[in-house]
Each structure stands twice: as structure tokens, then as C-alpha cells.
Amino acid sequence: MEEFDGEPTVTWIPGLNSQKKQMCFDWGPGEMLVCETSFNKKGKSEMVAGCPFIHIIRKDIDVYSKILRKLFNESHGIFVGLQRIEEELTGKSRKAQLVRVSKNYRSVIRACMEEMHQFAVADKDSASGRQFSSQVSILSAMELIWNLCEILFIEVAPAGPLLLYLLDWVRLHVCEVDTLSADVLGSENPSKHESFWNLPGNTQTLTELELRWQHWHEECERHLQDGTFASDPRLESLCKVLLGDDAALLEQKELLSNWYHFLVARLLYSQPTVKPMDLHLYAQSSLDLFLGGESSPEPLDNILMAAFEFDIHQVIKECSIALSNWWFVAHLTDLLDHCKLLQSHNLYFGSNMREFLLLEYASGLFAHHSLWQLGVDYCDHCPELGRVSLELHIERIPLTTEQKALKVLRVCEQRQMTEQVRSICKILAMKAVRNNRLGSALSWSIRAKDAAFATLVSDRFLRDYCERGCFSDLDLIDNLGPAMMLSDRLTFLGKYREFHRLYGEKRFVDAASLLLSLMTSQIAPRSFWMTLLTDALPLLEQKQVIFSAEQTYELLRCLEDLTSGRPLCAEPDAQQLQEDDIETTKVEMLRLALARNLARSIIKEGSLEGS
Amino acid sequence: MGEMVSVINTVDTSHEDMIHDAQMDYYGTRLATCSSDRSVKVFDVRNGGQVLVADLRGHEGPVWQVAWAHPMFGNILASCSYDRKVIIWKEENGTWEKAHEHSGHDSSVNSVCWAPHDYGLILACGSSDGAISLLTYTGLGQWEVKKINNAHTIGCNAVSWAPAVIPGSLIDQPSGQKPNYIKKFASGGCDNLIKLWKEEEDGQWKEEQKLEAHSDWVRDVAWAPSIGLPASTIASCSQDGRVFIWTCDDASGNTWSPKLLHKFNDVVWHVSWSITANILAVSGGDNKVTLWKESVDGQWVCISDVNKGQGSVSTSVTEGQQNEQ
């Protein structure tokens, strides 16, 4: 069932070198853990010290390169811009825009390459210098491939100009071509060459061009036949080159650095108006002739060949295999998809190749402490599977600072990812409670809309109040607003604080009503009733009558309710007895105060106003 | 697919005997390990460092597995051991201590797995006595136990929870009201079977399905994380050297079909899905860990071999491999 074009990469883990032991492993959020073990579980300890090391391994360490980070950041901007290109644009203007995007990507690669090259040169003799050099060659290869794809797939150069584009392509990437063209141009028939290269563009059709070239070609051939250059073997060989003679070209192999250079040279001299669809024939034969059976094609060669064959899927597949980072295939595939060049390739997972690659790339970004934000955008632009991928990744981002947590939350809230919001807020609330930051814990539970946790935190607040006699985080509690409704306990906390405020403002009647309502509405937990009734005492002892008769009856009822429900201890110890004593005294005091208030209120209400 | 893999940190656990399990916490900042030396250790591994945070003693035999609970419950770790016990450890005010001990099994407990956090704090435990127990935290330090006796004849080797799927619409539930989750998990045992279990409305667990394909003891099962599609996926591996990928396409969850990933020439002990479910890691008895991924054309492809090395590494070797490709 498994197929692969080559052997899978083997990664060697150092130090695990016993023949008898096995490797145990598991996944972390962004890495893998590996260690030595013995799976065959025996009950007894083996009494042989195993290797105590656990190795943490990770892929995609490119994410940590400072220079590549620029590549990731800038290409992200280009990617997002590309997604927004107007769908309505068709034909030439759309194509022009897509070509521009492609060129932008390439310039980003080149900028990165140049920077890395400077590091490589500065650090020539060290291991890191060598690493930079190798990165530079990888980036160079990437740009080479991208450029070719731009010419063949995006620019879609038609026959004729195709060769010009390919010439530019080779010239850009291979310095030696200049030497060859200098040789050619310095030959005996410059005028013939100049007239040939006088391509004005629109005033000549392809057929006219082809005719002129044929005429010139025949003339050269005649000169060769007539032995015009017989006296000078060099000139003769040059003439053969101009006629596109393969053998003659190959003799100049040192000047041609690779087979695609050879290909373009051949085309230049034998098929300058080569049609795109015929390109692959010349490409294959160029590769074969150039290698001459001495060496086999390298991955880069296979990729370029696939491009010459216009097999986009093969290009992508080969690039995925050859390159260590998803960056290249993800962005190139996305661009080609915008050019409407990819047939939807249905995976088992039901998504298409573009999303598959973009999400692979985004996965790597999430492992990074700040690049994760770029990952979010890539997920956003994958309509089928992006959201789920984002949900899985965003929860694993370590919330190291409050600022980072807020950023992550904003991302989730903007996308209505309510489950993730809830989960993250709960985690933060929990952390806050553990660090005794109750105000913070309360805000997080409100944001999480977590009633249970809000209750828990409110209880802690109330407990704190009972112990210390004052509230912490007053600002927060005073400004709860509608959030107060989240849980009964929270509502009670808010209202209880309001009672204290009213009392402080000497608005005794309002305070009294509120206090009573807290009990009668059952919002106050029974465990707190004694405290509330005790809070009522100063209101009962005021010179003026604050509680009305009816209110006093209610208070009495609450008190009776509370005292009648008291469980009897089986065997009260000394402390219990002492507590009971205090309780009894309190209750008695309350009863007395309430009775007195009742009397006063009845008298007050019975008398005429003002008397 | 040519992914470059590098060792970024090596933690010296100082375990005095064989290590049986190592687990990263949710964020990759802490590492828990357990060993035949009967201890469970916790390390802080941020920024490539390694700081021993706790050395937990309490088991009286080799400890087989550890599992981190979801961070919203705090820092909680479960461990299971040959001593027939499951211990739940919790970090309180900066120190780790034993929060609960479960001794309801008659034989070694081989596997522990925390349920999706949406269900609360629930731990499934599989034992060599053939039973599976489910511990649910009910508050104030109390844990409720439900036991499935004779889940697998001879013994149960692995348990793995299905990802939480919210039934019905995704509309916000009014606060305080818990949505009705359909809780499911998979278990693998010495009866060569994989069983799927479902919680009924009365709170009892019932065997919903039997998945038969292995011809020897099932050593591990792993339910893949949800990637948003109606399909469910389970990986299983066995003494018979085979690894199967089971998929169920219909919403009712009734027809499971196995696909053979590979037949190894030795016992396969352990399978594990990466967090985003697109890579399956498989251990072989041949001292390798292979990574498998579903490729563009729907085939499962081996993308990497993580091998034990002879002596020192490493960067040169991986580079060499790169050039060959």
C-alpha cells in the first residue's frame, strides 16, 4: 500500500546504540520525543541502567533562521495581496498582475539570497559559513525553478518570444553565457547577426521571422559547404555552432555550465521559433546529450525537465521531495492555482492540493513564537480545512505573556471560535486563581462566559472579604455591568458590593432594601445569610427607622429560617461549643434589634406624617 | 517528503532504569517521564533547557505511562504502573503532590488516557486484568469510578479517546448548560480486538463496536484528532506486525473499514498521531520509528525513518541524505 519514489530520509539519533533496546517516542505540539526503552513489559526491573536521555527532535528548523524570517514575512504580504486580486479581472490585465506577483516572489527570494551570501562570504571557513553557502544554493535553485515556471506557466510565452525569455533566464542564472555570446557576436558576420536579432516585435509575424531565419541559416550552411572557413578550424567550428550542430556545441562544454544552458544554445541556433509544446523534446535530448551517460540527473534536473514537459503536478511533487521547507511548493502552487492551472486533486481528506500544501507550511509557522500570526492568515485562506487547522494550532500556542494571550484571543474572537476562546480564558483564569490574582481570574471567567468558574472566583472574593473585612479589585466588581448575570454567585457579589457602596454613601433606605432583597430573592447563598443579617445590625440601631415593619417581619422570617435549619452536632467539642456560644449570642442580639425595630416602625407607620 | 529533522535538545532524566514513556505537555514547555525505577519526573524544557521540576515517588513498580491533562484544569499528570495503581498528581502552589490514588485493578495498569477537556476531567485506564476503569473528577478532591469488567479477555493494552464532537449545531449554549456530548473511546487488548465504547444516557458504558483484523495481541490504538471532516480515523498496531488505519465515513459511526498501512517483520508496539493528525508515527521492533503521511494521491507514504544511531551523529548524515534525494 505504500509507494515511494525513493528511500525515506533516515534521521539518526545519537547515543542510542544498544542492540537490545528499542526506541520509544511521542509527539509534542511541535516536536517529537524519542528515547531508549524496552517495550516488552516485564514486571521486574531489568537492573540494567538504560540510557536516561530523551531527545527532542523537530523538523522545519528553518523557521528559526533570522534571514529566512524575512522571506517568510515578505512573502506573507505578497500571498495575502494575491488572495485579494479581483476575480473579475480577466485576460491581459489579470495575467499582467499575476506575472507581477510572481516577480515579487522572486525578488524576495533574491534579496534573501544576497543577504545570506554576504554572511556566507564573511564566515567562509566555519561550519555556519558552509551552511549559509548551502542555503544560498538552495535559494538559487528555487529562484531558477520559479523563474522557469513563470515563463512557461504564468507568462505563457508563445512561440518566438519564448526563446528570448529562456535566454534571459539562462543569462540571469549562468554567468558564462556572456562569454559565449561574446564569442558569437565577435565572429565574421556581425551584420548578419544584427539583422537577425533586430526583432521589432509587432511589425514582424512569426512566419516572416521564421523565413528570414531560414534564409540566413541556409546561407551559413552554404558557406560551410563551400569551405569558406576551411582555412580556420576555429571559424569553421563557430559556423557549425551557428548552424546548431550538436557536436560542435558540445565541444564547447566548459562554457556551457549545464544541460539547460546547452538546450537554450541549441534552440538559439537551430530552433529559435520553437513552440512551447515542442520544448520537451529538445529538453530531453539536451539532457541526455549533455550528461553523455556519465552521470545521472539530479533532483533539480528532474524538476526542470518536468517544467519543460508542462507537467505542473510533477514539478510540485518533485519540489516537495527535494526541498526541506514547504515554503516554495506552498506559494508556487497557490500562485498557479490563481492562474487556474491546477485541476482539483482530491485527497483522501477531501481537500485540494493547494490547501494541503499551504496548511503544511502554516503548521511550521505555528511553532514559532511570533510567526504564528502569519500562519493564521494562511489558514484563513483555506476555505475547506483552514479553520479546523487553525483551531488545532491556536490552542497550543504557549500563552507566555498577557499581551500574547490577548493577541491569540483576538484572533479567536474575530473568527467566532467560541470553543477556543472559552478554553483559553479558562486556562488563564485557572492560572490567575493559582497566583491569587482574583480580579484577573474573574475577568477571564467572564470573558470565557464560564458560569461555574465565575462562581468559584466569586466565592473566593467573598471568603476574602469575610477574612479581611474588605474587598479587593473594587474597580472590577463595581463595573461588572450586565456581566454580573453570568452566575448567581457573581450577581450576589456585585450586589453585595453595591450594598456596601450605598451604605458608605449614607443611602440607608436603599441599602436596607437591597440587603433584604438579597436574601428574599435567594441570590445570597445561605452560608452568607448570617453575615448579611449581621450587616443589618447597624441599620437597625440607627436613630431613624430604616427598615419598615413589613421589611422587619421579612428579616425575622429569614432569621428563623436560618436558625431552625441548624444541624445539631453529635458530639460538640470545646471549640464547637465556643462557636455555638458566639452564634447564639449573635442570634439573640439580632432578635432583640429586630424586635425593637419592629416596635419603632409600627409606631412610625401608625402615626400621622410629621407628628 | 524531504523534511529536515534535527535533534534540538537532549534531556538527561537521570532515571536509574528503563524509561517507558515521555510526554510533552500541551504547549511543549514541560516534559513528564516515567521509568522502571518507579519514579515519575517532570522537567521544564523551555528554550532548550532542562530543569527538574519534580521527582514523584509513590508507585511500587515500573511506571508504564504518563498523561498530561488539559491545562485549563491546572497542571495535572496521571501515571499508571505495574503495581496495579493509577496515581493522579497535581501541582499546587508550585509543588507537585499526589492528588488521588486509584487501586481498583487486580493487575498491571498498562495505559491511561485523558478524555477531551470538553467532557471535564475524565481518565480512562486499561489493565492486564482485562478491565477498563473510568475516573471522573466530581469536585472537592473527589473522583467517581466506573468500571468495565472483562472489556478484553486476558488483558487490555491501550485506551484512546475519540475527539469531542459537539452534536447538533455549533450555536452557543446558554451559560451553565452543558451540551450533550457523545463520549466514545477505543481500546485494544490481548483478545486481538479493538473495541469502541460509548457512554449511554444512563451514564453506563456500552461496547458499541468490535474491530477485527489483527491476528495477535493489539498493542496500541490511537484515535486521530479531528480535522473537521465527518470521517473518523483510528490507527492500531499489533503483535502480528501489522498496522491498520481504520476509517468510518458515515455520520452514524457504524461502518469501519481497515486499510493495511504496512506489515512489519516484528511486533509493532506503539502508534501515535501528530497534533494535527497528518503524520502517524509507528514504532517497529526493529529499533526504528517510521513516520507516515497521506500523500496527495490518497496513499499512505513513509516519509521518514528515525533510527537509532551507532555512536555520534548526525548533521552530516542528514545532510548526506538530503543530497542523495
Instruction: Report the Cα–Cα distance between both ends of chain A, in Å, rounded.
Output: 102
Express each pLDDT in B136-172 by its tens digit: 999 888 999 999 999 999 999 999 999 987 655 444 4
With CB atoms and an 8 Å threshold, state whether B5 touches A2: no
Express each pLDDT in A45-56 by its tens digit: 555 556 777 887
Note the pLDDT of residue A44.
54
Note the pLDDT of residue B253.
63
CB atoms within 10 A of CB A489: 22
Q: Which long-range contacts (CB under 8 A, 24 or more apart) does B318-322 make?
A: B318/A9, B318/A11, B318/A12, B318/B4, B318/B5, B318/B6, B319/A134, B321/A9, B321/A10, B322/A9, B322/A324, B322/B2, B322/B4
With CB atoms and an 8 Å threshold, state whether A1 touches B299: yes
In B, minimum Cα distance to A347 occurs at B298
Enclosing H/E stretch for A172: helix A161-173
Express each pLDDT in A218-233 by its tens digit: 887 887 788 777 777 7
Distance CA A583, CA A590 (A): 11
> Which of A259, A67, A371, A1 shows the shortest CA–CA distance to B245?
A1
Which residues does A457 contact at the CB level (< 8 Å), separation at least 6? A429, A433, A438, A441, A442, A445
Express each pLDDT in A574-605 by its tens digit: 677 777 788 888 888 888 988 998 899 898 88
Using a CB–CB cutoff of 8 Å, tell me whether B19 touches chain A.
yes
With CB atoms and an 8 Å threshold, state whether A9 touches B322: yes
Enter the pTM of the model.
Answer: 0.77
Give me the percent of chain A exceeding a pLDDT of 90: 18
**Shortest Cα–Cα distance, B225 to chain A (Å):** 9
Enclosing H/E stretch for A329: helix A327-338
User: In this model, does residue A215 exceed pLDDT 70?
Assistant: yes
Q: Which long-range contacts (CB under 8 A, 24 or more apart) does A224-227 make?
A: none
In B, minimum Cα distance to A47 occurs at B17
CB-CB neighbors (< 8 A) of B278 in chain A = 360
Using a CB–CB cutoff of 8 Å, tell me whether B302 touches chain A.
yes
In B, minimum Cα distance to A392 occurs at B276
CB-CB neighbors (< 8 A) of B93 in chain A = 434
Instruction: Report the Cα–Cα distance between both ends of chain B, in Å, rounded.
Output: 10
Express each pLDDT in A333-343 by its tens digit: 999 988 888 76
Distance CA A259, CA A241 (A): 16
The b/e string for B100-115 (b: 16+ C-beta within 10 A; e otherwise) is bebebbeebbbbbbbb
**Shortest Cα–Cα distance, B37 to chain A (Å):** 7
CB-CB neighbors (< 8 A) of B299 in chain A = 1-3
**Shortest Cα–Cα distance, A55 to chain B (Å):** 4
Distance CA A328, CA A360 (A): 11
CB-CB neighbors (< 8 A) of A55 in chain B = 7, 9-11
More confident residue, A401 or B122: B122
Using a CB–CB cutoff of 8 Å, tell me whether B289 touches chain A.
yes
Which among B7, B272, B294 is the nearest to A349, CB-wise? B294
More confident residue, B297 or A240: A240
Distance CA A12, CA A362 (A): 26
Provide DSSP, A300-316. HHHHHHHHHTT-HHHHH
Residue B3 DSSP label: -
Q: Is A277 helix (H, G, I), strand (E, B) or coil?
A: helix
**Chain B from 255 to 284: CB within 8 A of any A CB:** 259-262, 267, 269-270, 272-278, 281, 283
Using a CB–CB cutoff of 8 Å, tell me whether B178 touches chain A.
no
Note the pLDDT of residue A60.
60
Note the pLDDT of residue B161.
96
With CB atoms and an 8 Å threshold, state whether B303 touches A8: yes
> Which of B217, B212, B152, B214 shows the shortest CA–CA distance to B187?
B152
Using a CB–CB cutoff of 8 Å, tell me whether B74 touches chain A.
yes
Q: Where is mean pLDDT largest: A1-10, A24-33, B33-42?
A: B33-42
Band of the pLDDT at B311, cuts 50, 70, 90? very low
Note the pLDDT of residue B127.
96
User: In this model, does residue A507 exceed pLDDT 60?
Assistant: yes
State the greatest distance between any 2 C-alpha atoms of chain A, in Å, as a whole number. Answer: 144
More confident residue, B142 or A478: B142
CB-CB neighbors (< 8 A) of A24 in chain B = 19-22, 270, 283
CB atoms within 10 A of CB A47: 9
Using a CB–CB cutoff of 8 Å, tell me whether B167 touches chain A.
no
In A, minimum Cα distance to B50 occurs at A54
Note the pLDDT of residue B165.
76
Distance CA A35, CA A23 (A): 6
Min mean pLDDT across A46-50, A327-331, A373-377, B66-70 is at: A46-50
CB-CB neighbors (< 8 A) of B29 in chain A = 398
User: In this model, does residue B312 exceed pLDDT 50?
Assistant: no
Note the pLDDT of residue A346.
53
CB-CB neighbors (< 8 A) of A32 in chain B = 281, 306
Give me the percent of chain B exceeding a pLDDT of 90: 55
**Shortest Cα–Cα distance, B184 to chain A (Å):** 20
**Residue A135: strand pairing partners:** none
Q: In what order do the strands lie in the sheet containing B51-57?
A: B19-24, B30-35, B39-44, B51-57
**Shortest Cα–Cα distance, B323 to chain A (Å):** 9
Prediction ipTM score: 0.74
Distance CA A575, CA A581 (A): 10
> Which of A456, A452, A414 shows the shortest CA–CA distance to A433?
A456
Band of the pLDDT at A81, cuts 50, 70, 90? very high
Distance CA B155, CA B172 (A): 42
What is each CA distance from A79 to A72, A312, A337, A385, in whole angstroms? 10, 20, 12, 18
Express each pLDDT in A107-149 by its tens digit: 999 999 998 888 888 877 777 778 788 888 888 899 999 999 9
Residue B131 gets the label, from left (phi > 0), alpha (psi -120 to 50) or beta, of: beta
CB-CB neighbors (< 8 A) of B270 in chain A = 24-25, 39
Which among B9, B45, B272 is the nearest to A25, CB-wise? B272
In A, minimum Cα distance to B313 occurs at A14
CB-CB neighbors (< 8 A) of B229 in chain A = 349-350
- Is residue A65 within 8 Å of A91, Cβ to Cβ? no
With CB atoms and an 8 Å threshold, state whether B305 touches A17: no
CB atoms within 10 A of CB B270: 22
Provide DSSP, A417-476. -HHHHHHHHHHHHHHHHHTT-HHHHHHHHHHTT-HHHHHHHHHHHHHHHHHHSS-S-HHH
With CB atoms and an 8 Å threshold, state whether A56 touches B45: yes
More confident residue, B320 or A541: A541
Using a CB–CB cutoff of 8 Å, tell me whether B119 touches chain A.
no
With CB atoms and an 8 Å threshold, state whether A41 touches B281: no
**Chain B from 203 to 222: CB within 8 A of any A CB:** 219
Using a CB–CB cutoff of 8 Å, tell me whether B294 touches chain A.
yes
- Is residue B69 within 8 Å of B121, Cβ to Cβ? yes
Which among B6, B17, B291 is the nearest to A49, CB-wise? B17
The b/e string for B226-238 (b: 16+ C-beta within 10 A; e otherwise) is bbbeebbbbbbbb
Enclosing H/E stretch for A330: helix A327-338
Report how many Cβ contacts below 8 Å link chain A to chain B. 312
**Residue B112: strand pairing partners:** B125
Enclosing H/E stretch for A365: helix A353-366
* Residue A67, amino acid: I
Query: Average pLDDT of A363-391?
Result: 90
With CB atoms and an 8 Å threshold, state whether B290 touches A47: no
In B, minimum Cα distance to A399 occurs at B27
Using a CB–CB cutoff of 8 Å, tell me whether B320 touches chain A.
no
Note the pLDDT of residue B52.
94
Band of the pLDDT at B314, cuts 50, 70, 90? very low
Express each pLDDT in A425-443 by its tens digit: 989 998 888 888 888 899 9
Note the pLDDT of residue B283.
84
CB-CB neighbors (< 8 A) of B26 in chain A = 29, 395-396
C-alpha cell at B313: 551523529
Burial of A419 (0-12, 13-18, 19+ CB in 10 A): middle
* Residue A230, amino acid: A
Which among A25, A27, A398 is the nearest to B27, CB-wise? A398
Question: For A336-417, where are the E strands, in sequence order?
Answer: none
CB-CB neighbors (< 8 A) of B262 in chain A = 1-2
C-alpha cell at A403: 499581551
